[in-house]
Amino acid sequence: MATEVRVNRRRYLVLAVAIGLGAGACQGGSEGGLGAASCGGESPRLTAADADRFLADVNNTILKLGTESAQAAWVYSTYITPDTEALNARGNQAFIDAVARFAKEAAKYDDVEVSAEQRRQLQLLKLSLELVTPSDPKEAEEVTKIATAMEAMYGRGKWCREPDKPSTCLDIEQITEIMATSRDETQLRDVWEGWHSISIPMRGDYTRFVELANKGARELGFADTGAMWRLKYDMPAEEFTKEVDRLWDQVRPLYVSLHAYVRMKLREKYGDVVPADGPIPAHLLGNIWAQDWGNVFDVVATGSADQGYSLTDILKGRQAAPQEMVRIGERFYSSLGLAPMPDTFWQRSLFVKPADRDVVCHASAWNLDFKDDLRIKMCIDPTEEDFSTIHHELGHNYYQRAYNTLPILFRDSANQAFHEAIGDTIALSVTPEYLVKIGILGQAPDASRDIGLLMARALEKIAFLPFGLVIDQWRWDVFSGKITPADYNSAWWERRTRYQGVAPVTPRGEQLFDPGAKYHVPANYSYTRYFLAHILQFQFHRELSRIAGCTTPLHRCSIYGSEEAGRRLNAMLQMGLSRPWPDALEALTGSRQMDATAIVDYFAPLKAWLDEQLQAQGTKTGW
């Protein structure tokens, strides 16, 4: 399953908030932002009763405006017209404006003695936005327009081989298909360079965007926007940076072995364009961002590296209908003892692309009223990718329902990574043994096929890990000023090369803006959540497999049918955002620390096999 197919589709229409150290309004500079606001002048002394009234207003307003915004977004996504686009923008702006106002007002209560639950809600508000607009109305309008323009620029992006011939123009979907299926090195290079040209016009806008975003963040007491993002994870910004590095160090040896093996196979395929011991050319990994290598499985899966069956072929042979595929996913959760989806889910979800109108086909999970109006939106095909994605999307819906009795500000996952991790945890249970139990596969492949199964998953999961770091590592340094506008592109490729071991095949000058060719940069959507989600999903899977009594190797474990695993999982889901994420992690795993050793355990047979192949061929690792 292509990681970007999922990660680029997760902009939920709920308040994306996470706890961190508080920030005092009207103060500037300090990273943690602790302390009362010092705005000057006298004001009435606020009390706990004032805080209670304020939070009641916040929760009621967010429920009302959030529901209206979600409804407008759903209509736009499933019926795209200029009118629905305008209605969606209007509803979204009203919601964002209200949250921004509440976030700034929350700092007034820093010195007020309130209950622990109220304090948490107030602090969540202060860290509720990806972008804080400056207090100056003109600058607030400017940064909002820039943000909208950059996202629209990406959305309209096309590369035209012959600019005067519209028939030669390719959008991101067509680019993605070519990158996935073509094995013509010249074509891949042209398409790769072509797509990266769509972001050149963003460069000046992005420079100004950083200035204004930082100004807004500093008005709330944060050092910069990047520091504000990191504080969403219940620890100081610099401590969080070290924690991410610690987790990467745990999995880096596995990535290095996979990288060397894939490089060796690509060199066999493409010749000297792939170096024997240097970075892999970024255009040869089956994905426009080189973040998911699953599409080159056919190049690297030789001999024992073959998983032994094709779920896509099986589904197509059965003529599996979209709704039945979703029913199968629902039955997985029912086997854990969780209640089925409500009737409205089946009446209101979109499973098939309509023939009469444009829709946003990107898979996503929705809870339109913050309670039980649960839906998924997918244009489902009978493929292994979509089958797994259905299980993933439903994980979001079950999470959304589990915390739907909490105050609105707590109706979200324990941190930004947990929502993604839960969906992917369930997808890890889509094993051959599970497929046998539900009657889709006649017999599970024997252990001789394990390398193929693990290779397919590693090309998706392990290949993604350094990319999951790079985007925010680059942005944190941009927001802090460590990377200046004059070095945007060179710094981007320095980090891509250092972490991923990939590089462009031709020089990339500073007249370009390659970071903008990735959606999350112009959309200003923080990305470390996806790295952490990849860590957490394996940690969750290992513990749930233990609870379910699984005795097979971890990569063959499925929690299907284990009500005890379902009970423990749901107990964590019900906590929502009401407690710091270490509390939620401990409720499920017994540990308060994220741990990437579960990934090492899961892929241990593959790591041993990769090292054997590399040693036998005398192939060097690293770049």
Q: Directed axis angle between helix 528-547 and helix 450-480, to 10°?
A: 140
Cβ–Cβ under 8 Å, residues 472 and 233: no
Tokens 């009446």 identify what position?
347
> Which entry of 89, 94, 117, 362 is annotated as an active-site residue?
362
What span, in angstroms and rounded, lies between the C-alpha atoms of 488 and 490? 6
Q: Which of 196, 392, 419, 555 is catalytic?
A: 392
* Residue 434 in tokens: 């599970």
Known catalytic residue at 420: yes
Catalytic site residue 419? no
Residues 376, 363: contact at Cβ < 8 Å? Answer: yes
Q: How far apart are the C-alpha atoms of 10 and 501, rounded to whole Å?
A: 27
Do 94 and 68 contact (CB within 8 A), yes or no? yes
Cβ-based burial of 601 (10 A; exposed 0-12, middle 13-18, buried ≥19): middle
Contact 145, 138 (CB under 8 A): no
- Active-site residue 530, yes or no? yes
525 given a catalytic annotation? no
Q: Please give the structure tokens belonging to residue 359.
A: 């829709």
The owner of tokens 């079950």 is 398
Of the residues 196, 283, 396, 541, only one is catalytic, namely 396
CA distance 56 to 49: 11
- Among candidate residues 393, 427, 488, 533, the one labeled active-site is 393
Distance (Å, whole) CA 550 – CA 562: 10
Asked if 319 and 312 touch (Cβ cutoff 8 Å), the reply is no
| Residue in 12, 403, 527, 530 annotated catalytic | 530
Of 106, 363, 584, 596, the active-site residue reads 363
Question: How does 208-236 read in b/e, with b if 16+ C-beta sit within 10 Å?
Answer: ebbebbbbbbbbbbbbbbbbbbbbbbbbb
Torsion-angle region of 119 (φ positive above 0: left; ψ -120 to 50: alpha; else: beta):
alpha
Q: Please state, in angstroms and rounded to a whole number, the distance separating the CA atoms of residues 570 and 337.
A: 9
Based on the residue annotation, tell me whether 363 is a catalytic residue of this protein: yes
612 an active-site residue? no
The verdict on whether 362 is a catalytic residue reads yes
User: Which of these is catalytic: 4, 420, 460, 543?
Assistant: 420
* Cα–Cα distance, 585 to 593 (Å, whole number): 8
Long-range CB contacts (< 8 A, 24+ apart) of 272-278?
A: 273/185, 273/505, 276/619, 276/620, 277/620, 277/622, 277/623, 278/503, 278/623
Question: At 338, is the secondary structure helix, strand, or coil?
Answer: coil
The contacts of residue 581 (CB under 8 Å, 6+ apart) are 18, 19, 233, 234, 414, 415, 418
User: Per 3-state DSSP, what percentage of the chain is helix, strand, and coil (rounded to 5)?
Assistant: 60, 5, 35
- Asked if residues 305 and 452 have their Cβ atoms less than 8 Å apart, the reply is yes
* 142 is known as an active-site residue: no
| 143 three-class SS | helix
Q: Which of 259, 391, 520, 541 is catalytic?
A: 520
Say if CB 373 and CB 367 are below 8 A apart.
yes
In order of 34, 55, 319, 413, 430, the CA distances from 573 in angstroms are: 30, 23, 35, 7, 20
> Of 100, 134, 131, whose CA–CA distance to 26 is shortest?
134
Quick one: which of 193, 262, 221 has its CA closest to 32?
221
| Active site members | 362-363, 392-393, 396, 420, 520, 530
